[in-house]
Chains A and B, each alone.
Chain A
């Protein structure tokens, strides 16, 4: 520890502390323009100049990078310091008179009109003030070293290598973040970086909690945006994490767990709306999928729950289109069940939060649950325009008076028997619910079946909707078919109850339909060994006959019919039994 005297106060600090920090700990303010906690002090703005007295000598030094020493005396507000500070401020102000941080600092230091006129005066409010923050952070924290200074004296400026967009720049946005004037701008980041396909009205950090209602409410790190994972630099988040919970090395782990029963609730995905270019998704601004609109409506979303078009204006009219990809010969013939109700919910919320007109384009209104029909009636009273007909195309339209472009919905109104074109500012599409992209992989792993629409097949559509044909494997929720939350909860509870009832038994009755090799008849030809898809048949070297593991055997009977000596018995479906059946049914 070292004791220094600042403005008459004795301050005790660690060795190598800068005067600036020592003064801060004593509650004394020293002005700075180029200082930041994130990297080593640069000492370029010179505003933090203080007077340092050691013995009989007095010097003016920059306090941000001058380390304290025992017996040091510092004056932060002497006449000499005040004079030099004012001069530096005037010089700075004369060069950049419109930059807010400079203006504010000048006001704080009592400088209103600079006496000088700079040859390099830059009137822009976002001018570069050569503080070097961007260069320093890129070099020291991000460890990419993309930006640097070029030129000397009055010609000094910050540049990219060869004045071109650099490959080494990982577009982390750190430079834009630390720039005090907003001179550095980063072009649209979200499409290139980050897995979340959201649009954000502002930058998002590489470590973030995806939504405020996430379960578990734990941040994730987006590998592509994280500086540490790209260049090995930064790592600032782990220095702030007290329980040291951040592990950059964490990799996916494969864990093996032994279980007796499996419940598959792998859910759904929505149809890719880009397959239907006539609706303008991904092509036109303000055409949203229902999930994107849901995100907008959420108070933790990018607009805080306000309904806004991409340009920030309130929509004058909103079109909500049902059945995109559902009830469609070209995509999915089935009805996705949940869309009518959430589309009505959207209509209600739009009416509630904006003065916009709402147009609902539907084929049939499926309001099947408790209170659903009543909710639909309520919307009719609220003045939502219901148009029964499919939408042919959504295109851009322009009014003659030079107003902003609108979205033109071409549709058929079957109730009045006419084609209509409806101008709106925003379109919300209700995409079909389809099985997850990897449903056929899951099906193979658990040996369950899929119905023709590729959702998992239940054992019986009416009497057993949560079991599958395979014992011990259950399905629930949208993996079995499109359904809403109350129905998913009901199915999940049913499946859980079934599983628990089996667990509580302690032991499980196994299917007796298995194959068995009759030792006396087996000739050891081993033809059956390679036939079994479950590898249940092995060859016993000592006895020179084949043997079936009846825990692995699933009783398909392929080996039974293949055995040339008829040495394998298929219990429950023996040759004798089947031939007896044959005789019986052909005798009539």
Chain B
């Protein structure tokens, strides 16, 4: 029997910081800009709240891509949170590769509250990239 190829709709989880990226996404919506429908947003107060274990959990539960959005460096609403995020994402990319997950499936972007267009463009670009990478293949241990 031929297996019908299910259409691949990437599942992208986005952790967005409340002050900048979340507001930027809101602006994109208010401005009626086209952004990726595959992105599922979880709001956090600061991108520094994002625990690496959330990212792992997300991939484990079937996310094809994880996007973290925060304020521009130097502009963090809580002054330094995004520096911690930057460090953690660098580190996460290294151990994601160890776990057999393509590090390109994790993206960190700084998007401010008035950059609705950047949010829209970034999500569309990330969706395109995930489509190219295909659905995530997790190794059962």
Contact = CB atoms under 8 A, between A and B. Distances in A.
A binds B: yes
A586 B48 contact: no
A558 B46 contact: yes
A555 B19 CA distance: 12
Interface string A561-588: 1100000001011010011011101110
A457 B115 CA distance: 12
B49 A533 contact: no
A585 B51 contact: no
Band of interface residues on A: 20 to 34
B61 A582 contact: yes
Contacts of A449: 19-20, 75, 77, 112-113
Interface in A463-480: 469
A556 B57 contact: no
B81 interface: yes
Given A457-B114, A558-B81, A578 B46 contact: no
B88 to A, nearest CB: 8
B84 interface: yes
26 contacts: A447-B79, A451-B113, A452-B115, A457-B113, A457-B114, A469-B19, A513-B45, A533-B78, A556-B49, A556-B77, A557-B48, A558-B84, A560-B51, A561-B52, A561-B88, A570-B45, A572-B45, A573-B49, A578-B44, A578-B54, A582-B61, A583-B61, A585-B42, A586-B13, A586-B62, A586-B63
Question: Is the contact region of chain B dominated by helix, strand, or loop, or is it mixed?
Answer: loop
Contacts of A526: none
A560 B77 contact: no
A557 B45 contact: yes
Interface of B: 11, 13, 19-20, 40, 42, 44-46, 48-52, 54, 57-58, 61-63, 75, 77-81, 84, 88, 112-115
Nearest to B15: A578
Nearest to A585: B40
A193 interface: no
Interface of A: 444, 447, 449-452, 457, 469, 513, 531, 533-534, 554-558, 560-562, 570, 572-573, 575, 578-579, 581-583, 585-587
B60 to A, nearest CB: 9
A340 B44 CA distance: 44
A582 B66 CA distance: 11
A587 B79 CA distance: 35
Contacts of B88: 561
A585 B62 CA distance: 10
A365 B56 CA distance: 57
Nearest to A575: B51
A457 B114 CA distance: 9
A346 to B, nearest CB: 34
A556 B40 contact: no
A257 to B, nearest CB: 24
A556 B61 contact: no
Given A533-B81, A575-B51, 6 more contacts: A469-B77, A558-B80, A572-B45, A573-B45, A582-B57, A586-B11
A278 B111 CA distance: 37
A558 B80 CA distance: 9
A579 B57 contact: yes
Contacts of A531: 84
A61 to B, nearest CB: 80
A266 to B, nearest CB: 19
B114 A451 contact: yes
Contacts of B13: 582, 585-586
Contacts of A582: 13, 42, 54, 57-58, 61
Most chain A CB atoms below 10 A, which of B42, B58, B88: B42
Contacts of B45: 513, 555-557, 570, 572-573
Contact of A578 (B42, B79, B84): B42
A457 B27 CA distance: 13
B71 to A, nearest CB: 8
A534 B46 CA distance: 14
A575 B84 CA distance: 18
A556 to B, nearest CB: 4
Contacts of A587: 61
B78 A558 contact: yes
Nearest to A570: B49
Given A561-B49, A585-B13, A556 B78 contact: yes
